Amino acid sequence: MHETDFVSGFARGLKVIEAFGETRQRLSIAEASKLTELDRATVRRSLLTLAELGYADYDGKFFTLTPKILRLGHAYLAATPLPALLQPHLDLLSERAGQSASASVLDGTEIVYIARASQRRVMSINLTPGSRLPAYCASMGRVLLAALPENETRAILARSELKQNTPNTKIDPEELVAEFRRVRAEGYAIIDQELEIGLCSIAVPIENDRGQTVAAINIGAPAALVPAAEMKERYLPLLKETQAALRPLLRR
Amino acid sequence: MHETDFVSGFARGLKVIEAFGETRQRLSIAEASKLTELDRATVRRSLLTLAELGYADYDGKFFTLTPKILRLGHAYLAATPLPALLQPHLDLLSERAGQSASASVLDGTEIVYIARASQRRVMSINLTPGSRLPAYCASMGRVLLAALPENETRAILARSELKQNTPNTKIDPEELVAEFRRVRAEGYAIIDQELEIGLCSIAVPIENDRGQTVAAINIGAPAALVPAAEMKERYLPLLKETQAALRPLLRR
DNA sequence: TCCTCATTGTGCGATATATGAACAAATGTC
DNA sequence: GACATTTGTTCATATATCGCACAATGAGGA
């Protein structure tokens, strides 16, 4: 790859868009400049470009993103067959379990929801396709991390901000790596209120016909209704059925 | 605004990302060049930039978007208070109605879902935040178009691809404009299987404390269970309640 | 195997952009 | 009200990108 095969103006602009996610909806030029660590003049040009194209509004002082920006992310969900393929299976799974079912993939240290069939909302967070959670303390994250070679897993843990969300949250890397080994051996991960008090979840990997893990699915339930100890017997068979139904559909 | 206040490399790159949404997941350089009507060399540089930043994968022949691209669209959903504000109200609405409830805003000729509380899936399409539907034949679209000055509404209709999705679909601009007037006067829109056979929906506008329409919410139901004639009496009171509950929360 | 067609990679001149500093305007502070 | 600080804008110029023309590669077919 040549050194000229990189459009830095494009890269800078993408950085500016992402700056909006980290804080509030409105950004001044100076704020965006600080967040992106780009020159004010450069940020200004990127923002004015976004406004010109209709991806942002500008009131002379603050820039705000418009819904048009959703086209960019949605290009992935619309273009990738995986979410559409998983959705009906999640619907069925969710209905049979009477709980929310989700699917996600790994992106760096985070899991990204790509499909979801939600029952009554139990979490304080609102999860939709595109939502992100730290991988180390989510059941799907455990499954996805367990599928990687151990050196990669360790590298991701090293980059993760291991935060004690609840008294249950495991944040010791060695303990986590040991748990990943168990997940790999037994084929499922259970989270007992490590992300949020009151929430348990159980996840299994989704593999293609070559056995490569391409996603994870889970069922989440309120700990008050379904203690962690019961998650396995109640939901693992359903998850395994869904997993088996999907495998032949996923060719590479 | 100066003529130099525009980063064309950035604009071109965004166009390349959107090219993925229109077709399948994989694009070669030549395909992307055709879709975007940009020079091959330019598209290639943009794609390589995306790959370098982790927004795309490249196998030497085809480029595919990675889930990282969802960060861009999600920046909007995470940064805008409206979706988070609406969600609990949609949950309640959906539960009381026993049907799916959604919220959307207008983007050009399309509505964009920004929040959704879904019951059993009734539509063939899978709707999630970020999903788009043509405005002219969706109940929320009717409400949002009705809120605009008539010349703007007509301009949008002129740009819309008015397609006869079902025998019920209204595609005559004059008929649509007349319907928008009725919607404006009566405060709600009902769609009777104009988008998809078997699906009815009813929508009302969501206004801020100054009376400006900032979004629309709707309830969708299977026509087999709820005939269009019954939509109004069954769901309009619930929608109006939600509308009233939200108005004081929406300051500008 | 050789040819053809389609696609991808590369070098170069013309053109457009990024940079940082200087200036202007707005904002906050005393 | 004057000063200090922050923010937005403009400008000249060094630098990087764009689009073209050409070279290289690869896939199919005869």
Chain C nucleotides close to protein (CB under 7 A) are 6-12, 16-21, 27
> Which of A38, A47, A70, A85 is the best substitution to test chain B (most B C-beta atoms within 10 A)?
A70
* Rounded CA separation A69/A67 (Å): 5
Query: Domains, chain B, ranges and CATH?
Result: 8-69 (1.10.10.10), 80-249 (3.30.450.40)
Point out the residue among B52, B80, B112 whose CB comes nearest to the CB of A25.
B80
Chain A environment of B108 (Cβ under 8 Å): 54, 68
Q: Please say whether the beta carbons of B34 and B55 come within 8 A.
A: no
Locate A141 and state its tokens. 């994250």
Q: What pLDDT does B1 receive? A: 46
In angstroms, how far is the first alpha carbon of chain B from the final one? Answer: 27
Percent helix, percent strand, percent coil in chain B, to nearest 5: 50, 20, 30
Spell out which residues of A between 38 and 97 contact strand C, using CB within 7 Å: 38-42, 45, 61
Distance, first Cα to last Cα, chain A: 27
Low-confidence residues in chain A, pLDDT < 50: 1
Measured distance CA(B219)–CA(B204) in Å, rounded: 9
**Contact list, A8 vs chain B (CB under 8 Å):** 9
Query: Tell me, what's the pLDDT at A21?
Result: 77
Report the alpha-carbon distance of residue A100 to residue A93 in Å, rounded: 8
User: What are the pLDDT digits (tens) for A8-21?
Assistant: 989 999 999 998 87
CA dist., res. A51 & res. A42, Å (int): 14
Which residue ranges of chain B lie beneath pLDDT 50? 1
**Radius of gyration for the alpha carbons in chain B, expressed in angstroms and rounded:** 20
Identify any residues that bridge with A190 across adjacent strands, giving them in sequence order: A202
Q: For the stretch A36-74, what's the b/e string if a residue is b when 16 or more beta carbons lie within 10 angstroms of its beta carbon? A: bebeeebbbbbbbbbbebebbeeeeebbbbbbbbbbbbb
Instruction: Locate the chain B residue with the closest alpha carbon to A104.
Output: B67
pTM: 0.89
Give exposure, B48-67, as e/b (b: 16+ Cβ within 10 Å).
bbbbebebbeeeeebbbbbb
Q: Residue B165: phi, psi to the nearest 5?
A: -65, -40
d(CA A157, CA A163): 11
| Gap between the Cα atoms of A21 and A66, Å rounded | 13
Cβ proximity of B21 and A74 under 8 Å:
yes
What's the Å distance between residue B147 CA and nucleotide D6 C1'? 40
The CA distance from B139 to B126, in Å, is 17
In chain A, residues 31-90 whose CB comes closer than 8 Å to chain B: 44-46, 48-49, 52-55, 64-81, 83-84, 87-88
Interface residues 11-50 of B with strand C (CB < 7 Å): 28-31, 33, 40-41, 44
In 3D space, the residue among A190, A132, A136 whose CA is nearest the CA of residue A160 turns out to be A136
Quick one: tokens of B237? Answer: 């009171």
Protein-to-nucleotide distance from the CA of A40 to the C1' of D12, whole angstroms: 18
